[in-house]
Each structure stands twice: as C-alpha cells, then as structure tokens.
Amino acid sequence: MTTILEMRGITKEFPGVKALDDVNMRVAEGEIHALVGENGAGKSTLMKVLSGVYPHGSYDGEILFDGQTRAFRGIRDSEDVGVIIIHQELALIPLLSIAENIFLGNERAKGGVIDWRETEARAAELLKRVGLNESPKTLVDDLGLGKQQLVEIAKALSKDVRLLILDEPTSSLNEQDSEKLLDLLAEFRAQGVTSILISHKLNEISRVADTITVLRDGSTVARLDCSDGISEDDIIKDMVGRSLDDRYPPKEAPNPGQVALEVRNWTVHHPLHADRQVVKDVSFNVSRGEVVGIAGLMGAGRTELAMSLFGRAWGRDISGEALIGGQPADLSTPRKAINAGLAYVTEDRKTFGLVLDDTIRRNVPLAKLDAIADRGVVNRKREAEVAERYRDRLNIKSSSIDQETVNLSGGNQQKVVLSKWLFADPDVLILDEPTRGIDVGAKFEIYTVIRELAKAGKAVIVISSEMPELLGITDRLYVMNEGRFVGEMSTSEASQEKIMAAIIRSGDRKSAASQEEVA
C-alpha cells in the first residue's frame, strides 16, 4: 500500500518536559491507523505537531505527506493539503446552525456575500454522507453529543479531507452512537479516506484499526499489524510496559455499614422547560463501605440527578428528601452540600472540575480552603504540603506541583479533580464518568482509589456509560431510564444483558401505559 504519511524522529520539548522523543509513525493510504498509549504518552502532542497546532520550527524531526516534506506553520497549512483534525473538545458554536458551523471560516460566497442556498444545499449533502438526518438550519445547541460529533466530521469533509485525525471521538458518546461513528469510519476507508484514531477504548481499536502505533513516555515502542490477530492484552502490554492480568482491583465481600445517603422521592424539572420532569420520583440509598453504580443510556437523567443532589447545581422545582447519616441534609447550595459531607466529581473536568490556568498546588485544596488557611489567609506551606501529598498518593505525572493543570494529560487532570475531593474528606462521593478519556493503566489506579475509599468506610456512587466498568468495580447497581430508576441488582448477579433488559422492559411498560391512556 502507498504511504500517505510518515513522521520521522519527531522530538518536542516543553519547559522541563520532553513530550516526544524521536517518535516515528507511518500511515498507509486508505487505512484506519490507531494511535494508542497511556495518558501523557504524547499522542495528542504528536497530532498537534502533524496538524500545525505546534508549528514547524517548534519541534525537531521531519513530516512527509504524499511523499513531500511538509513544514506546516499553522492549521490552515495542514488543511490546505487535506489533513483535518477533530479534537476531543468539539469546536462548534452552539448558537449557530449546522450549516453555519460546517462552513465557518470556509464560507460559500459570491462577490463577498454568503450564498445561503448553496451553503445549505452543500451542508445537506454532507449531512447525508455522515448519516445525519437533520435540517442544515438546526442549531447545534439542539443536538446531542453524538450528532455534534457527526457535524464535526461533516465539517472535515467539506474541506476535501484526505487524512482525518480523530482524538477520542467516542469518549462522550453512548454505545449506540459510538457504533455508528465507527461504522462511518469504515465507510470512509472504503471510499479511500485515511483516518488516524486516538482512543483508549481498546475494543473499538480492535474492531476497526488496520495498524496501530503504540507510544510510551513520549517514544514509539511498537507498530502492530492488526491482520496478525492482535489482542487487547498485547496492546496493553506495549502501552504500560507490563502485562495487566486484571482490569479491576479485587473486591472484598460486601460488608456495608450504616446507610450514608438516602434519597427519597427526588424529582427535578428542566431548568428551561418547567413542565418537563428530568428526574422522576427517584429513591435510592448507599451505605458506608459500599460502591453503588448507576447504569443507563445517554439521556437517562443520571448526571442531572447527581448535579441536582450536589447543591441543586442543575434543575428547578426540585422536590424530595435527602438524608446523610440518617439525618435530613441541607443540600440547597454546593457549599452546604460539601459541609453536609457530599462531594461530586463532574463528568466535565475541564469546564466544572478544574481551574485550568492554575496550578496543581492551587487546585487540590480548593474544596476545603479553610483547612489550609490561617484567619482567612491561605498558608502557602500547608498548600504545598497538601498538593505534594496527593500528587504522590494518586501518582500525578507532572514536572512539579506548580505545573498548570491545562498542560496535564486527561488522566492526570482527572487525578487532580479526585485529589480535590479526597482532601475535602466527604462521607459520600459521587463520581460521574470518572475514567472518561483516560487510559487503561490510569483507569486501574482510579479503580484502586475507589475500592480503597470503600474499604475506609466511605460511600461511593459511580455513574458510568461503560457497563463492564460498573460490573467490575461496584457492589450494587441501580438502572435508570428516562428519569426513573427501573431496576436494582447486586453486581455479583448482574450482567450487561440484565441491565439492558431492565431498560427495555421499562420502555415497553411506558409504551403500554401510553396506549391505555389513548384507548
């Protein structure tokens, strides 16, 4: 096969850190090439070098595209030859239409005036190509994450893409949307489009990739040909430098203590549409020393439930009762929720979990500043001691505690968020998608922390879209669908099939009830 891309001896340094060290990668035309490695291995940095985000001259090494040496000095240069990158954080403007987003910066115009008829007609063609049945006039804000991801791909196609780079494209998608996106990449391969896929979901890599480049600590450690029958265990061994016999830490026999959190008849309305109930009469409990999971499809209301409990951070007209340690808890504001012993690790660490342009030192103590303050003034020595302690405890890979969190890998950012809440020492910890977008090695470390918290008598609630994860780390499961809890089961008796069956049965019951009302 013809080689479309070759990167030779790529070395990239930041102050105090060598992010890439003599990296080599070769991609054949018309294939899906996977780029894998632990968080901090250098995957995103390598792709930013390729796409011109880090311009020629800021790194050492050589990039050949279509057999020619390239010196991309910005994204426009790489896009001009058909190299298009879709970052993990989507670059769409919510209050513009699909068509406006697709051609933003690449407008269809005549005589300096946008031709809206051509813009919308061409957008409709691109939407059809990616399998999105939406009007080009639809606002992006009205689309779910899966559909927004398809808009990003349509936007890439509008630029005559030859090499499509996707950085964790399924990290925020449910299983169904992930399957559609992977099928779409396979279609593009059949049409001759080359793709580079960065993903921590090894089952997805195994399904669609033709070849794999593995990075570890900023260096190339392996190039794998998937036609040779590569297993997930083989990939993991190259990624982490050792075999990982168990994906999850061992669980001791459940021995829950006193009920730590009890929620009764919790109902939440949408903040903008007051007549729409998003959480409907939910009741549940979690005991000290127990890890409880909440399973469900995207849109089931799991995050809305968690955020409404944590200081009513989401929703309106919230009713119901919450008890912590058997006593009614005032959860009316985030500060009161923290004081009551409740903590919430958000699914969106970049927007709600961290102060990105501040350091590890400043982020870790944020939820409990009074513990490191003297008469309202932060004690810098204690602040540093706390940050160092949690940096060591959670193995946060950084140059120092004074490194800004924006420059950390996703997995290490997640560890900083966890550190913040562990320092707050809550009785009940809600973890919303705690391992989203992080590698298998970092996942194991976080799973270990979760089990240690339970062993120490904490009550932990885990929300996850990955059913194997829930089955691997929890003691008991609730199943949520369309705002209601529709099932409860011990994890030892649970399976993915039983979880899906509970969801499907609840949908059938709702449909039958609706038909009776019509009759």
Highest mean predicted confidence (pLDDT) among 12-21, 71-80, 406-415, 433-442: 71-80
Whether residue 243 has pLDDT greater than 70: no
Q: What percent of the chain has pLDDT over 90?
A: 57
Whether residue 90 has pLDDT greater than 90: no
Residue with tokens 């780079």: 165
Q: What CATH number does the domain located at 3-240 have?
A: 3.40.50.300
Beta-carbon contacts of 482 under 8 Å, excluding residues fewer than 6 positions away, are: 280, 299, 300, 301, 506, 507, 510
Phi/psi at 457 (nearest 5 deg)?
95, 5
Alpha helices (H) in 254-379, listed in sequence order: 302-309, 334-339, 360-363
Whether residue 515 has pLDDT greater than 70: no
Distance in angstroms (rounded) separating the CA atoms of residues 506 and 283:
16
In the chain, what are the domain boundaries?
3-240, 259-341+426-518, 358-425
**Range from 43-47, 149-153, 475-479, 485-489 carrying the lowest mean pLDDT:** 149-153
Q: How confident is the model at residue 519 (pLDDT cuts 50, 70, 90)?
A: very low
Highest mean predicted confidence (pLDDT) among 32-41, 168-177, 370-379: 370-379
Distance in angstroms (rounded) separating the CA atoms of residues 43 and 51:
13
**Range from 1-10, 49-58, 179-188, 368-377 carrying the lowest mean pLDDT:** 179-188
**Range from 24-28, 55-59, 109-113, 378-382 carrying the lowest mean pLDDT:** 109-113
Alpha helices (H) in 249-311, listed in sequence order: 302-309
Whether residue 92 has pLDDT greater than 70: yes
Whether residue 77 has pLDDT greater than 90: yes
* DSSP 8-class letter at 215: E
What number is the average pLDDT over the span 144-162?
Answer: 84
Please name every residue paired with 197 in a beta bridge, in sequence order, or none if there are none: 34, 166
Whether residue 510 has pLDDT greater than 70: no
Q: Do domains 3-240 and 259-341+426-518 have the same CATH topology?
A: yes
- Strands 342-345 and 428-432: what pairing? parallel
- Strands 459-463 and 428-432: what pairing? parallel
pLDDT of residue 52: 93
What number is the average pLDDT over the span 241-258?
Answer: 74
As its CATH architecture, domain 259-341+426-518 has 3-Layer(aba) Sandwich (3.40)
Tell me if 31 sits within 8 A of 211, measured CB to CB.
yes
Distance in angstroms (rounded) separating the CA atoms of residues 231 and 158:
36
The overall average pLDDT reported for the chain is 88
Buried residues in 438-474 as b, exposed as e (16+ CB within 10 A): bbbbbbbbbbebbbebbeeebbbbbbbbbbebbbbbb
Please name every residue paired with 163 in a beta bridge, in sequence order, or none if there are none: 83, 194
Sign for the pseudo-dihedral over CA of 183, 187, 193, 194: positive
The token duo for 341 is 């012993």
Sign for the pseudo-dihedral over CA of 435, 440, 442, 447: positive
Q: What is the pLDDT of residues 303-334, one digit of tens each?
A: 999 999 999 999 999 999 999 999 999 999 99
Distance in angstroms (rounded) separating the CA atoms of residues 87 and 59:
20
Distance in angstroms (rounded) separating the CA atoms of residues 33 and 227:
12
